[in-house]
């Protein structure tokens, strides 16, 4: 089924998802750092009748993120020290797998992505059309409309071009913070070997392609505002170089010229 059909028939899919609700466990994970100002808004927009559990992993925030999360119907896990964005995701996914999730959603608690898109995000996994679904900011031209800085837009387009070229894919975006994974995927790829930094996101998608998992996309709108988390310019440069490094490792592994732990079952 094409992406257009997914978008045109979303109401039908929502009904199907709701009918399957007793049979599947959907867990939303939120890797959090200083999200006190936006956590409640994000929480309120999550479709609670569909989601079985919400897990927030607080990466030693300097604000009241953990306290606010504890006041809501959220399972809060607090890191005793900051382990980075990739390290936070590792805890998120381990906790969700431990709690017997069938579908694991990664949603940033900074209210940049619309939680109301969750039914559409998980539909391809439920329909066995994909193992991973990415919420793309570029399918509906929502990136610039939402306020994405131009330097981020250009960097995203360049990196995505390189990733599609090396991985042989045709995705509109690789760098979204709004994703859904099947349990089978997270039990198969060695994501615990990935970086604890932002490049974790690029590594896990390279692993998805290497291990022949199916990737789908849906269009999502984004919001850029002062309280929304954003990588600074220096960190963006480091991230971009890290993405290119991961692509080189992937290519060498595919050519059997390098035995990388990232791509060992």
Rounded Cα gap, residues 44 and 49, in angstroms: 12
Determine the pLDDT at residue 103: 98
Provide the token pair at 82. 């900051």
What integer pLDDT is reported at residue 125 of this predicted model? 98
The Cα–Cα gap between 131 and 216 comes to 8
Both tokens of residue 6?
């997914």
pTM of the predicted protein model: 0.88
Q: What is the pLDDT of residue 142?
A: 65
Q: Rounded to the nearest 10 degrees, what angle do helices 10-20 and 118-126 cross at?
A: 70
Distances (CA, A) of 209 to 105, 129, 150, 189, 216: 19, 15, 29, 10, 12
Nearest 10 degrees: CA dihedral of 159, 134, 112, 201?
-50
Distance CA(82)–CA(131), nearest Å, equals: 30
pLDDT of 145 reads 72
Please tell me the predicted confidence (pLDDT) of residue 140. Answer: 76
Q: What is the pLDDT of residue 153?
A: 87
- What is the structure's pLDDT at 1? 45
DSSP letter at 257? Answer: S
How far are the Cα atoms of 33, 34, 45, 74, 78 from residue 70, in angstroms, in the given order?
15, 14, 17, 6, 11
Angle, alpha carbons 87-90-91 (nearest 5°): 95
The pLDDT value given to residue 149: 76
The DSSP letter of residue 130 is: -
Tens of pLDDT along the chain (265 residues) come to 444 444 455 455 555 555 545 589 999 999 999 999 999 999 999 999 999 999 999 999 999 999 999 999 999 999 999 999 999 999 999 999 999 999 999 999 999 999 999 999 999 999 999 999 999 999 877 676 767 778 888 999 999 999 999 999 999 999 999 999 999 999 999 999 999 999 999 999 999 999 999 999 999 988 876 666 566 778 889 999 999 999 999 999 999 999 999 999 8
CATH number for the region 3-258 comes to: 3.90.550.10
């Amino acid at each position: 089924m094409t992406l257009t059909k997914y978008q045109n028939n979303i109401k039908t899919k929502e009904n199907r998802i709701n009918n399957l609700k007793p049979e599947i466990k959907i867990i939303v994970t939120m890797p959090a750092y200083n999200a006190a100002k936006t956590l409640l808004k994000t929480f309120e927009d999550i479709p609670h009748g569909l989601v079985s559990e919400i897990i927030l992993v607080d990466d030693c925030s300097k604000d009241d993120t953990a306290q606010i999360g504890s006041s809501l119907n959220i399972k809060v896990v607090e890191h005793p020290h900051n382990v980075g964005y990739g390290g936070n995701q590792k805890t998120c996914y381990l906790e969700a797998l431990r709690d017997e999730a069938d579908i694991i959603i990664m949603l940033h608690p900074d209210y940049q992505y619309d939680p109301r898109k969750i039914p559409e995000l998980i539909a391809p996994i439920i329909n066995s059309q994909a193992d991973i679904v990415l919420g793309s900011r570029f399918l509906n031209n929502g990136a610039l409309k939402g306020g994405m800085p131009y330097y981020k837009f250009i960097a995203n387009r360049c990196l995505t071009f390189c990733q599609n070229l090396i991985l042989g894919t045709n995705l509109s975006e690789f760098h979204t913070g709004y994703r859904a994974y099947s349990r089978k995927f997270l039990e198969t790829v060695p994501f615990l070997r990935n970086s604890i930094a932002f490049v974790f996101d690029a590594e896990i998608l390279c692993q998805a392609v290497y291990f022949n998992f199916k990737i789908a996309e849906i269009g999502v709108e984004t919001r850029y505002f002062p309280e929304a988390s954003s990588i600074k310019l220096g960190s963006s440069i480091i991230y971009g170089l890290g993405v290119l490094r991961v692509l080189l490792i992937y290519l060498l592994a595919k050519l059997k010229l390098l035995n990388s732990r990232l791509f060992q079952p």
